[in-house]
Amino acid sequence: MYALLNRRFGFAENGTTLRRDTVAGATTFVVMSYIIFVNPTILSFLGVEGLENQGLPFDGVLASTCLIAGVMTILMGIYTNRAYAMAPGLGINAIVAFSLVANVGLTFPQAMGIIVMEGLAVTALVITGLRQRIMVAIPLELKKAIAIGIGLFIAFIGFYNSGLVAKAPAPGVPVELGDFTTWPVFVTIVGLVLTISLRAVGFPGDLLVGIVATTALATIVNRATDYTAFTTPGVARLPDHVVEHPDFSLLGNFDFGSFAEIGVLSTLVWVFSLFLSDFFDTMGTLVGVGKQAGYLDARGELPEIRRPLLVDSLGAVGGGVVSSSSATTYIESAAGIGVGGRTGWVSVVAGALFFPFLFLAPIIGIVPAQATAPALIVVGWLMMSTLTESQHQAEPGREGALKLAGIDFGDLAVGLSAALTIMVIPFTWSITNGIGFGFITYVVIRLAQRRWREVHPLLYVIAAAFTLYFLVPMLQEKVGFLGAA
């Protein structure tokens, strides 16, 4: 059995082992498993006053989420031999629920039909090779900036979800240090100390062990405080039952009625907006996570990139078909890579672990955000460690130009666009926004410098598309035939 797996995934040649990649797969699953409950919560409007009866059935979305995440992640591992994991994307699911359904007035089948259309559009670009050419057209410096920005994003998610960082009540101050006197923050700190200590001594599987140990601590604390420390249903408490029958009623529940409901032009605008978000979120994730894993070549490109792009685009189509929203490549894939995972076996293990939760869903609800936060913070550091490539490198006419991670911050076009990419990704909670700001800035500055020949022709098209992307909300609000925002 081992010989068969080694021939298929090449553990030794990729600098890993079957055991290490198995642990990495489990780590990736645990870190991203929150989507099993978060996605149904969003699409069912759970706890949203006034919308409780308009959402999809919670159990149905949960089953669809596990199904699409399991199938697409395994397919990614087998077809690409890369440690990328997939699941319904956060952000797009919120657009489906709160914009397309609650605001515009579409039914969920109509909204999922738009997801299918944007997925088919992305798939067409992959098949024709245009999506790969776009990836090649992006300057290496911006690819590195994307990786750093995603690292900050992942770390910020960990800090915020755990309560170490919280919204500030004072006007003009968006966030502040969390309340260190609360049990959730205490649990997070203990978990962070444990995880960092395990990392410091080189303990294999440190992130996974940290998650499990922190979950156990949270459960003990919650029981000792009569379940007042963690009040979210199912979190940090042993479930009353562990087996549930999956509800597959949402499979195939989509249509293209949006054309009749809101018009052809408005439908196409929504397809375009979701298309850009899906497209560049995936691009950022593949580059950022791929750099940490050592998948990128000297030019910052991912060899055989068509394979993961094709699987990802099919995930968007499949997500719409099963009513889970678009499935995309997850930045949490970096968690498994952070513990040494390198091959597609990581994805196979992570994907396979979704299937038991078709029946054992209550178990995953035990893990609190405070348990996964230390892993996200450490993974964020690993992705930002690309900055350690800092160096002073002289160039003709630019003696002593400061370069960080190969990014020349003394060059206005490269430095400012990279800086905006790095900053905007975590500041706006969106990979797509950061990439858009960076690309537009790069093109505008090169045009102003009359160095337009240095810009790849496709970058002009991308910058124009992003400009429209950022203008769409205003156009939807001000121009009636584009439909409501």
pLDDT digits (tens, 9 = 90+) for 276-299: 778 878 888 898 899 889 998 877
Average pLDDT over residues 230-253: 86
Considering only the C-alpha atoms of the chain, give the largest distance between any 2 of them, rounded to a whole number of Å.
70
Q: Model confidence at 388, in pLDDT bands (50, 70, 90)?
A: low
Q: Summarize pLDDT for 359-379 with one digit per residue, the tens.
A: 876 676 687 888 888 888 887
φ/ψ of residue 11, rounded to 5: -60, -50
My answer on whether 129 and 141 are in the same domain is yes
Q: Summarize pLDDT for 118-142 with one digit per residue, the tens.
A: 999 999 999 998 877 877 788 878 8
Rounded CA-CA distance 276/98 in Å is 19
Average pLDDT over residues 248-274: 89
- Tell me what pLDDT residue 72 has: 98
- Tell me what pLDDT residue 224 has: 95
Domain stop point among 338, 369, 386: 386
Task: Write a three-state SS string for 174-213.
Answer: CEEECCCCCHHHHHHHHHHHHHHHHHHCCCCCHHHHHHHH
Rounded CA-CA distance 163/186 in Å is 10
Please check the confidence at residue 265 and state whether its pLDDT lies above 90: no
Please check the confidence at residue 402 and state whether its pLDDT lies above 60: no
My answer on whether 267 and 406 are in the same domain is no
Please check the confidence at residue 71 and state whether its pLDDT lies above 90: yes
Please check the confidence at residue 431 and state whether its pLDDT lies above 70: yes
- Tell me what pLDDT residue 1 has: 80
Rounded CA-CA distance 442/370 in Å is 38
Average pLDDT over residues 391-398: 46
My answer on whether 202 and 294 are in the same domain is yes
- Tell me what pLDDT residue 365 has: 67
My answer on whether 473 and 341 are in the same domain is no
- Tell me what pLDDT residue 37 has: 75
113-122, 320-329, 463-472: least confidently modelled range: 463-472
Comparing 37 with 334, the larger pLDDT belongs to 334
My answer on whether 115 and 209 are in the same domain is yes
My answer on whether 317 and 455 are in the same domain is no
* Number of other CB atoms surrounding residue 223 within 10 Å: 13
Average pLDDT over residues 59-67: 94
Q: Summarize pLDDT for 187-200 with one digit per residue, the tens.
A: 999 999 999 999 89
- Tell me what pLDDT residue 36 has: 86
- Tell me what pLDDT residue 168 has: 84
7-16, 139-148, 446-455: least confidently modelled range: 139-148
**Number of structural domains in the chain:** 2
- Tell me what pLDDT residue 479 has: 59
- Tell me what pLDDT residue 206 has: 81
Sign of CA dihedral 455, 460, 466, 467: positive
- Tell me what pLDDT residue 194 has: 96
Rounded CA-CA distance 302/294 in Å is 9
- Sheet containing 402-404: order of strands: 391-392, 402-404, 407-408
My answer on whether 407 and 358 are in the same domain is no
- Choose the most confident range, by mean pLDDT, from 25-34, 169-178, 372-381: 25-34
With a CB cutoff of 8 Å and minimum separation 6, the contacts of 480 are: none
Please check the confidence at residue 101 and state whether its pLDDT lies above 50: yes
- Tell me what pLDDT residue 40 has: 87
Rounded CA-CA distance 295/317 in Å is 26
Per the document, the length of the chain is 485
Of 376, 381, 372, whose CA–CA distance to 211 is shortest? 372
My answer on whether 35 and 181 are in the same domain is yes
Q: Model confidence at 317, in pLDDT bands (50, 70, 90)?
A: very high
Average pLDDT over residues 223-228: 94
Of 311, 354, 257, whose CA–CA distance to 119 is shortest? 311
- Tell me what pLDDT residue 475 has: 66
Please check the confidence at residue 91 and state whether its pLDDT lies above 50: yes
Domain stop point among 327, 357, 386: 386
Percentage of the chain modeled with pLDDT above 90: 45
Q: Summarize pLDDT for 408-425 with one digit per residue, the tens.
A: 888 899 999 999 999 998
Percentage of the chain modeled with pLDDT above 70: 91
With a CB cutoff of 8 Å and minimum separation 6, the contacts of 1 are: none
Query: Which residues form the domain of 269?
Result: 2-386
Q: Model confidence at 399, in pLDDT bands (50, 70, 90)?
A: very low
My answer on whether 116 and 189 are in the same domain is yes
Query: Token pair of 426, please?
Result: 């975590």
My answer on whether 38 and 159 are in the same domain is yes
My answer on whether 365 and 418 are in the same domain is no
Please check the confidence at residue 31 and state whether its pLDDT lies above 80: yes
My answer on whether 382 and 395 are in the same domain is no
Domain stop point among 386, 421, 451: 386
- Tell me what pLDDT residue 391 has: 47
Please check the confidence at residue 394 and state whether its pLDDT lies above 50: no
Mean of the per-residue pLDDT values of the chain: 86
With a CB cutoff of 8 Å and minimum separation 6, the contacts of 159 are: 165, 373, 377
